Structure 1
């Protein structure tokens, strides 16, 4: 059933942000919202410019992996950010985006999403299955950094609408919420952008320490047995001990070796 607050083209009327989404480009279908946002960034898109789409034909996630993007079912969005010369490192940007996504979703759905977890570094899990993913891309212009932050949230899909290969590890809001409590994509995205704007302001001013207290309580991997794929393809079995000041994951190998930092490797729960 179509919802009046589902059309992303109607997002401007629902926004409460100062910058994010105030300049908005919506597509019925596009290759990738991140690719379009990067192109728009190069052409002078302002800080906070937003690209959304009802469908992506070449959606992608971290490490170039394809992102399932059927028409009209989910949120596919990318935001242009121009923070200038950051006063703190921004390597933990995906963690900050995760905080904004989680808090925006909880703002809409309340206690029904209280178990929504952050899987380091760029996924949100509900009921142990992937609900949302994040893709951050950057480039430097002199001493200033320019960023595109993309995210996808599975909203309306039924189990049958997920590809067979995804059904055991992906989920949607529709699979966890009763019909009466569901909301349209525009309402959800407006709430996410509102929370994301404030979170990013704090992050760009103070780095990961400025958002640590809002990330760690919901981080799924801390204290858990994990498997880490090293750049050379080797798998290391370890336990996640915590997060460094820059957001890197600290892990101790099961074989008793010294703790090591994980910054961009794949991490799985065991």
Structure 2
């Protein structure tokens, strides 16, 4: 069987090993945004674990509404509906739990073939310090219960020249780091991601960030590194990332000295 035999995202259901995630699934050849569709479906009664996938997005978006490059048939674009009920833990660090699940899913598929795979706080996966995947979490409240959509885009088959010129220096894909015989179809990858994501989310919803903290920190590329932290109006401060707080906030020490400070939502760059 060809390594890319399981590339059709519409067929991921046959490969699932999850209890909930992806068991209800709709696939689109092209859509504006999988997250937008999942939010719409959530309002319409989508069950917990419902999955939206697409081969292409015309209005894919990432954190802070930034556009997400989404050409047809090359990558994974997916969003999952979650109905955890009344919150037992703060959800501000949900993207960190999603990052752990995605990272462990890729490791389950590729083993040690991706030695430079890492997490970049708060919502990116990097490979050779270039962006491989991004995460977008959105929430709505229904009374005292929270409803969530978690979306992610993973660059799978694109070669370097297939990225827009503005992304070629900062983005990467699995294809650029694997030999042809090592490559795996998108549906097979997605099934593994959903399996590990389900496990990570179960831990997170039961115990908050503390339950996945060691898994996150062991793969976080930023800890101990010099970073640039957005300070508003285009200003940045140089600092050293020293760890994560109990709620998932990044803690940094100014490079020039002084008390450490928390970073909760600002943009952060590796120096």
- Same topology, TM > 0.5: yes
Partner residue, 2:134: 133
Judged with a 3 Å threshold, the aligned counterparts in structure 2 of structure 1 residues 94 and 107 are, in CA distance, closer, same or farther, namely same
Q: In the alignment, what sits opposite 2:239?
A: 238
CA deviation after TM superposition for structure 1 residue 2, in Å: 9.4
1:254: how far off?
Answer: 2.1
Query: Partners of 1:196 and 1:2 in 2: how far apart?
Result: 23
TM-superposed deviation, 1:240: 0.7
Matches within 5 A, 1:180-195: 180-195=181-196
1:259 shift after superposition: 1.2
1:57 maps to: 58
CA distance in 1 between counterparts of 2:194 and 2:9 reads: 13
* Counterpart Cα distance in 1 of 2:236 and 2:201: 33
Q: TM-score, normalised by structure 1?
A: 0.98
Shift of 1:258: 1.7
Separation in 2, partners of 1:58, 1:269? 28
Q: Is the 8 A contact 1:106 1:114 kept in 2?
A: no
Preserved CA contact (<8 Å) 2:252 2:262? yes
Partner in structure 2 of residue 100 of structure 1: 101
Matched, 1:111 2:107: no
The gaps in structure 2 that reach 5 residues or longer are none
CA separation in 2, counterparts of 1:128 and 1:78? 25
Work out the CA distance in 2 between the residues paired with 1:97 and 1:189. Answer: 13
| Native 8 Å contact 1:86 1:205 kept in 2 | no
**What displacement does 1:30 show?**
0.1
Task: Name the CA distance, whole Å, in 2 between partners of 1:263 and 1:14.
Answer: 37
Secondary structure in 2 matching 1:51: strand
In the comparison of the two structures, how many residue pairs are matched? 270
How far is the alpha carbon of 1:90 from its aligned partner?
1.4
Confirm or deny: 8 A CA contact 1:33 1:56 kept in the other structure. yes
What CA distance in whole angstroms lies between the structure 1 residues aligned with 2:231 and 2:262?
11
Residue ranges of structure 1 left out of the alignment (5+ in a row):
none
Aligned to 2:267: 266
Aligned CA RMSD, in angstroms, stands at 1.2
CA shift for structure 1 position 123:
0.4
Shift of 1:213: 1.1
- Aligned partners of 1:254, 1:220: CA distance in 2, in Å? 18
Q: Deviations over 1:226-264 (max 9, x none)?
A: 101124543111111100000000011123232111011
TM-score normalised per structure 2? 0.97
Q: Which residue of 2 aligns with 1:9?
A: 10
Structure 2 residue 216 is the aligned partner of structure 1 residue 212: no
Partners of 1:259 and 1:116 lie apart in 2 by 28
Q: Distance in 1 between matches of 2:138 and 2:110?
A: 29
Whether contact under 8 Å (1:38, 1:148) holds in the other structure is: yes
CA contact (8 A) 2:4 2:183 kept: no
**Bigger mean CA deviation after superposition, 86-95 or 228-237:** 228-237
Aligned residues of 1:73 and 1:156 also touching (Cα < 8 A): yes
SS at match of 1:175: helix
Corresponding residue number in structure 1 for 2:71: 70
SS in 1 for 2:165: coil
How far 1:211 moved relative to its partner? 0.3
